[in-house]
Structure 1
């Protein structure tokens, strides 16, 4: 999953100096371990356990992520980046309709699995949480829009369909569906409903 050393920090959006190779490896190892631990044990899992499982000292972890909030933001930002990179790769698919619905399936899985992670980011007086959410939503919206436009240009889906409506429907499936079979049935209904 993407996590470039020169990427903006989650809060300030300012470029960082590129990390040394060993520091970048530690950062990526911490991020991967945090993703796994948060998924298995929830976002309240002890940070010391994450450092231990990553094979990295606490001091190194706190240099990269001084607070739990910063670690949660980094993990969630990485998840969004991976979802959007997946969408960009799907733009090369020979079947734009399949590409759109392949990404919607991934989007639904993301919302269902990562909603708790996103909601665990504490609010703040400066409005940074809202700014992060806005940026992530815009990124996903842009990815969905590109896939939808491609599918529309090939006649695979209704030309009048709005991307915001499509994402609202997909979000509803993610939040309301009880299991993967129901997700697939709902996606099938959605696809038949917007097909040309």
Structure 2
């Protein structure tokens, strides 16, 4: 997808935009598509004019809030790898994945309205998530802590299954148990491996 170049926002303007997007996720999750812009502005600690200057339509705000959650998830991968060993980074990232899923499910009604308007907020999301997973898993394989025969697409399918089964906030404990079970299955010490590049 081609995006027009744009000038970076000033630091204070970027902070306001970030606060608006975080507040939008919370409010759309709680109130659905009928959430008032004034409530979002109040939650973000900005004026209504600031919100409308950044996001003149409801669809623009919903799409930007979703894409921001997606970017936070994908950008977390290199940061985690820089801060901790690969197996711990993957463990931490799967928790970020569940946060992303919870936000996505909470905003489902609002996101559907964006889709109905002719925009695809999910464009490239699967590819971006799998690229983040690939970076984490490749680092684990190189470190000898992750089986070499499991592809990022396999792990994404497993995570998606967990998300569909228990992606609601009240199911978080069960989701984390299933995440741990899945991550345990990646250990090369418990399973014979087959090099995934051999196929």
Deviation, 1:168, is 0.9
Structure 2 unaligned segments of length 5 or more: list them: 189-199
1:181 aligns with 2:173: yes
Alignment of 1:1-196 (within 5 A): 13-20=3-10, 23-117=13-107, 120-121=110-111, 122-123=114-115, 128-129=119-120, 132-177=121-166, 179-196=171-188
Note if contact 1:76-1:118 (Cα within 8 Å) is conserved in structure 2: no
Deviation, 1:76, is 1.2
Question: What is residue 5 of structure 1 aligned with on the other side?
Answer: none
After superposing the two structures, state which structure 1 stretch, 11-20 or 145-154, moved more: 11-20
Structure 1 unaligned segments of length 5 or more: list them: 1-10
RMSD between aligned alpha carbons?
2.6
Distance, in Å, in 2 between the alignment partners of 1:180 and 1:13 is 36
Note if contact 2:28-2:106 (Cα within 8 Å) is conserved in structure 1: no
Deviation, 1:108, is 2.3
Note if contact 1:97-1:151 (Cα within 8 Å) is conserved in structure 2: yes
Distance, in Å, in 2 between the alignment partners of 1:138 and 1:181 is 28
Q: What are the superposed Cα offsets for residues 128-185 of structure 1, whole Å, 9 maximum, x if unpaired?
A: 40xx413222221111110011111122121010101101101111220262221222
Distance, in Å, in 1 between the alignment partners of 2:138 and 2:45 is 45
Distance, in Å, in 2 between the alignment partners of 1:80 and 1:192 is 26
